[in-house]
Amino acid sequence: MSENESQFSEFKSKSGFRRILSAYSYSMQGFQAAWRNEHAFRQEVMIVVPGMLIAPFLPLPALHRLALVAVVMLLLIVELLNSAIETVVDRISLERHPLSKVAKDIGSAAVFLSLVLAGMTWAVILLPLAKAYFRT
């Protein structure tokens, strides 16, 4: 390859508004693929969406409401990244390999930690609200 030839992917050639439209389209395709192919993603969406709809209306400071929404969105982000890692590992080979297992297990650990963070955040923010509600 000569110095003048691009060493980048042909998919990186779009610019401007066309790139934004393409990125949006690819993102929607990613959501569709995750929904269609990833059971864990569907389960998490079923848990996350009600929380995201309820959080803005809770009698809490704005930053607390934002934190409630942010941690559940983070959970979905980590799940999507984990699914992408698993898909790439499977694309390389469907054979069992210790490094494939390590990659998938690390991705799963990341999802677990984000789930724990979300649960702890919701508990810390909502427990005082629940205690105050049930005292009256």
Domain boundaries, the chain: 39-135
Cα–Cα distance, 6 to 40 (Å, whole number): 39
Residue 118: closest CA among 59, 76, 83: 76
What phi-psi label fits residue 16: left (phi over 0), alpha (psi between -120 and 50 degrees) or beta? left
- What confidence score (pLDDT) does residue 117 get? 98
- What are the pLDDT digits (tens) for 36-78? 999 999 999 999 999 999 999 999 999 999 999 999 999 999 9
Mean pLDDT, residues 9-34: 86
**Rounded CA separation 105/96 (Å):** 13
79 is catalytic: yes
Whole-prediction pTM value? Answer: 0.84
**Active-site residue, from 38, 44, 79, 86:** 79
**Spatial separation of the C-alpha atoms in residues 88 and 81, rounded to whole Å:** 11
The CATH class given to the 39-135 domain equals: mainly alpha
